[in-house]
A = this chain, B = another copy of it.
Amino acid sequence: MNPIFHALFQKSRYLTNCLNEVLKQHNLYSSQWAILYCLHNHGPMTLTQIWKYLNVEAPSITRAITRLETLGWVLRIEGEDKREKIVTLSPFAEEHLPAITKTILVFEEEMVGALTVEEQQQFIILLEKMKG
């Protein structure tokens, strides 16, 4: 087994666990945060826009949004096209996002700070080269 895969999968798991650990203080999981961040940048989005943007299947987003809704982070609004649901951040989310973003920035600096900007670019280039 090429050690690249093992290393890649391990690090991916490790980093999401660390991210979850750090987000615990805000009562969030990393994938929930990914959705909030996405909504923060793009404004209200339909479920389809979200899963296409995050490159994930629809049912994962349905489940996550349902959870985020009951936790009070987002609202599901019926669209003009009545098939679609438009998801928006709640006032509660808008209020808390700045502190969370700060937490994330500290985390990122801690995790990726040992790499120069060139190394980070190089890393992404190498990642891009891996495909079927």
Complex interface: chain B residues within 8 A of A123 (CB) = 4, 123, 126-127
Q: Are A2 and B55 in contact (CB under 8 A)?
A: no
Q: Least Cβ distance of A60 to chain B in Å?
A: 11
Given contacts A12-B12, A126-B123, A108 and B2 within 8 Å (CB-CB) = yes
Q: Are B132 and A111 in contact (CB under 8 A)?
A: yes
Q: How far is the CA of A126 from the CA of B112 in the complex (A)?
A: 10
Interface of A is mostly: helix
Size category of the A interface is 35 or more
- A71 close to B (CB within 8 Å): no
Complex interface: chain B residues within 8 A of A12 (CB) = 8-9, 12
Q: Are B112 and A18 in contact (CB under 8 A)?
A: no
Q: Are A9 and B4 in contact (CB under 8 A)?
A: no
- A37 close to B (CB within 8 Å): yes
A108: contacting residue among B1, B108, B124, CB under 8 A: B1
